[in-house]
Chains A and B, each alone.
Chain A
Amino acid sequence: MTMDGLNTTGPRRPRRRFAALTATLAIGALALSACAESQRGDDAAAEGDVDSTFIFAASADPASLDPAFASDGESFRVSRQIFEGLVGVEAGTPDPEPLLAESWEQSDDGLSYTFQLKDGVTFHDDTSFNAEAVCANFDRWYNWEGVQQASSVSYYYNSLFKGFADSPENAVYESCAVDDELTATVNLREPFAGFIAALSLPAFAMQSPTALEEYDADGVSGTPEAPVLSSYATEHPVGTGPFEFVSWENGQQIELTAYEDYWGEQGQVQDIIFRVIDDPTTRRQSLEAGDIDGYDLVAPADTASLADKGFNIMARDPFTILYLGFNQEIEELADIKVRQAFAHAIDKDALIAQTLPEGTKPALQFIPDSVNGYNDDVTEYEYDPEKAKDLLAEAGYEDGFEIDFNYPTGVSRPYMPTPEQVFSNISAQLEEVGITVNPQPNKWSPDYLDRIQGGPDHGIHLLGWTGDYNDTDNFVGVHFGTPKEDFGFENQELFDKLAEARGIPDVDEQTPLYEEINADIVDFLPVLPLAHPAPSLGFSPRVESYPVSPVNDEVFNQIVLSE
């Protein structure tokens, strides 16, 4: 078969035309990109030799721009730029320090706190920050009703201040009084030693009362499972922080810009863009390609290679705990000897070296050493597989046994960047002493937590915790203060001690009791503390310094850029 007729004339012209088109496009492209380049260059020069736009990759959209209705890290990352609380966090530590309040005084009975406020602070909508604004915020939280009270909506107020105006018998908060323009007194119904530290949480940041009203901030509709937030929480957040809100393109990016009348130092960064990139590999690639300036939770496997290529890797001081949970509903695990055998079977140093980021510390107890009540003298279960085998034999399991091992998939948490790797590592170690593992991988969302916390149907499991603020109860009380499906045990003595510790109004007075509790927990072994992983952040070489904080209190006006 031939196509001679077609062959004789046709083909050349189109080819030439195609070539010409390609050339035109290419030249056009070069010209345009050159022009784009030069424009960017000029902008940078005008603003003090650095590109003042800082692009940070977020792993998801924030749940809410109103931090009082948020509990997730991505929401707080954004709200920390826009809002400030009465209490802040001392740089590089989890400890509280004055922020919008210059100082405070606690009454002798521990029930009243009088805050002296910073002068000359304004909200982004020009409303003055004063004692009235403080009381407006406290009263707002206290007077929530209906859906607003759901713990999925107002998680932190719920869990720390317990009750609302319509159920005052449970409430920790009582009232707020304006003493003068810059003095406010908050009265509590019962002593709450963690009160000041809790106020450093972004959820208790000060918001502009006028904006809250104007945009109907409390107008939450929908259901507790699927709340529909107000336009305040999606388009008009107004705080006193160094950056004000510009725009939020859902699923794409959030833009903030420097607030001109900020009371403090503005810093080099004038515009922040939080790009939403949910895939960890894509975040790394974007950094490598120069499309973003930084991202959080760098995978342990990537830290060395990124550092080799000249990127800045920074690690937060660990304020986390990764543990192996024991479900005592399971017969074998109810035996303390078996739990001790697990403790001796696992080589934490090997686990850390092989699966966790640089800077991770092995965990001997449930809290990191920066938290009040850390006990230097707790029982230590050194790595000793032979001893583990002996303990199993003593418990009647000479030939070992088989057990379900639940672990999450499709997730990266600050305390566990790669759950699958941690699982395989521990499984191999357990097999060494004769414990056969039956893998139970569960998707993090929506299955894993439901499986672990919603019923008794699980074996040993991997989970962890990142502290919200410096409070011992936030670690041990949350986990071991009441019976929980996670661990399936009743230990009234422990529950009572934790309740007692929480009720002591003074942090220093709490210390001896918490030290005792921490030793008890290590002896009782409801979980095996594995490590305090240090979450890593990756930055482009132009980022000279970044205010890494164990509790993620990282405000971008403190970033130092070199170009």
Chain B
Amino acid sequence: MLRTIGKRLALLVPTLFGLSLLLFLWVRSLPGGPATALLGDKATPEAVAQVNRLYGFDKPFIEQYLTYMGKLLTGDFGVSLRTGRPVLDEFATRFPATLELTAIALVFAVGLGIPLGYWAAKHVGRWQDQFSVFLSLGGVVIPVFFLAFILKWIFAIRLGWFPTDGRQNPRINATHVTDYYVLDGFLTQEWDAAWDAFMHLVLPGIALGTIPLAIIVRITRASVLEVVNADYVRTARAKGISATLIRNRFVLRNAMLPVTTTIGLQLGLLISGAVLTETVFAFNGIGRFLRDAIFYLDYPVLQGFIIFIAVIYSLINLLVDVSYNLIDPRVRVQ
């Protein structure tokens, strides 16, 4: 197991290397090059030359790339052109927000998705099944942006049950220890702060979690149906093993295998999906910052953030494979 993990981590290095090269090429292929991205396409040749000199864009490509990689390896991701702060700092201050949001979305998607999928499988062909299929179809079809907007309009603005935007009510004087606001509330025992931070996560969490929810429902349903009809389940039933035991030991455990993979893949998508949700709820995470970076062609941020997301995505995939190993002994043998 450890060897597998080691191998996978080692594989991450060339992957990221390739990605960084592609990104680097991409930024330099923007019309007119990065100097134009910075100054606009009406910039005078003198200004372009000055910027090229300042940033070293006039040096040979290989030299530029090696300098960039050298800095990257020492944790220097450059400075955001828009805010003038180090990319790493910008990322660090916003990442907890997005992670918190992603966690809630995942809890929502998994917590509701697995029972719903199971419920549908159990009542296959009946209204419960159709209801679940309809629900999951809706989840995939409705754009995240639109859903976020509708949820906000109904539950925050019309009904006033939830806050409209942000991570915390500024009127609550919360102490921040870790920058994970809900956790901070628990750590400092400021219960109202924890609750307030949680309430801020509910609507964006649901909006963000809906697509994964829909997918998890369908995968769980299909997977449970498959396992239920498997020979070993029939045999177990024939042997008179109790229904609860069959459900827990045989059906759920085996059916969870494809679901785990799906959850892992969805987690990566959640982080990128946060761009839209965070925009609607003015949520100060990496999603909204990435959107601004695209808007302002803030390419040090774009380069840095995409590499971060790639690392996270790769690590999640690794985690999925590890959990696969733990759930299914057959994978281990192979």
Residues from chain B with a CB closer than 8 A to the CB of A288 are 157, 164
Assuming the contacts A35-B191, A251-B284, A450-B42, asked whether A289 and B84 have C-beta atoms less than 8 A apart, the reply is: no
Residues from chain A with a CB closer than 8 A to the CB of B84 are 222, 226-229
Q: Once the chains bind, are A289 and B164 in contact (CB under 8 Å)?
A: yes
Min distance, Cβ A318 to any Cβ of chain B, angstroms:
29
Q: Which of B209-267 contact A (CB under 8 A)?
A: 225, 228-229, 237, 242-244, 246-247, 251
Q: Once the chains bind, are A279 and B282 in contact (CB under 8 Å)?
A: yes
Question: Does A286 touch B at the CB level, under 8 Å?
Answer: yes
Q: Once the chains bind, are A55 and B171 in contact (CB under 8 Å)?
A: yes
Question: Does B71 touch A at the CB level, under 8 Å?
Answer: no
Min distance, Cβ B206 to any Cβ of chain A, angstroms:
15
Judged by DSSP, the binding face of A is mixed
Complex CA distance for A222 and B243, rounded to whole angstroms: 69
Q: Which of B60-117 contact A (CB under 8 A)?
A: 79-81, 83-85, 90, 93-94, 115
Q: Which of B144-163 contact A (CB under 8 A)?
A: 152-153, 156-157, 160, 163
Q: Once the chains bind, are A445 and B191 in contact (CB under 8 Å)?
A: no
Number of interface residues of A (CB under 8 A): 56
Select one of B170, B280, B296 contacting A55, CB under 8 A: B170
Residue among B51, B79, B192, B297 with most chain A CB within 10 A: B192
The stretch among B10-18, B21-29, B33-41, B315-323 that forms the contact with chain A is: B33-41
Select one of B165, B170, B191, B251 contacting A282, CB under 8 A: B165
Complex CA distance for A170 and B140, rounded to whole angstroms: 64
Complex CA distance for A40 and B170, rounded to whole angstroms: 12
Complex CA distance for A252 and B166, rounded to whole angstroms: 8
Complex CA distance for A23 and B154, rounded to whole angstroms: 23
Residue among A29, A289, A447, A455 with most chain B CB within 10 A: A289
Q: Once the chains bind, are B284 and A282 in contact (CB under 8 Å)?
A: no
Contact with A along B157-190 (1 / 0, CB 8 A): 1001001111101111000000000000000000
Q: Once the chains bind, are B171 and A29 in contact (CB under 8 Å)?
A: no
Q: Once the chains bind, are B192 and A36 in contact (CB under 8 Å)?
A: yes
Q: Once the chains bind, are A32 and B282 in contact (CB under 8 Å)?
A: no
Question: Does A10 touch B at the CB level, under 8 Å?
Answer: yes
Q: Once the chains bind, are A277 and B165 in contact (CB under 8 Å)?
A: yes
Number of interface residues of B (CB under 8 A): 61
Min distance, Cβ B193 to any Cβ of chain A, angstroms:
9
Complex CA distance for A53 and B225, rounded to whole angstroms: 57
Question: Does B57 touch A at the CB level, under 8 Å?
Answer: no
Question: Does B8 touch A at the CB level, under 8 Å?
Answer: no
Min distance, Cβ B156 to any Cβ of chain A, angstroms:
6
Question: Does A159 touch B at the CB level, under 8 Å?
Answer: no
Question: Does A107 touch B at the CB level, under 8 Å?
Answer: no
Question: Does A181 touch B at the CB level, under 8 Å?
Answer: no
Min distance, Cβ B143 to any Cβ of chain A, angstroms:
17
Q: Once the chains bind, are A61 and B83 in contact (CB under 8 Å)?
A: yes
Min distance, Cβ A22 to any Cβ of chain B, angstroms:
11
Q: Which residue of A lies closest to B195 (CB)?
A: A32
Complex CA distance for A7 and B122, rounded to whole angstroms: 7
Question: Does B54 touch A at the CB level, under 8 Å?
Answer: yes
Complex CA distance for A454 and B160, rounded to whole angstroms: 48
Give me 13 A-to-B residue pairs in the complex whose CB atoms sit less than 8 angstroms apart, sorted by A's number.
A6-B228, A9-B242, A222-B79, A226-B84, A227-B84, A249-B284, A250-B90, A255-B170, A285-B157, A289-B157, A289-B160, A450-B40, A454-B40
Q: Which 8 pairs between the two chains have the least Cβ-Cβ distance?
A: A454-B42, A36-B192, A450-B40, A273-B170, A32-B195, A450-B42, A252-B284, A226-B81
- Known A228-B79, A447-B40; further 13 A-B contacts with Cβ < 8 A: A1-B229, A6-B122, A18-B115, A35-B191, A36-B196, A226-B84, A253-B170, A276-B284, A279-B279, A282-B282, A285-B152, A285-B156, A288-B164
Give chain A's interface residues, CB within 8 Å of chain B.
1, 3, 5-11, 14, 18, 29, 32-33, 35-36, 39-40, 51, 53, 55, 61, 222-223, 225-229, 234, 249-253, 255, 273, 275-279, 282, 285-286, 288-291, 445-447, 450-451, 454-455
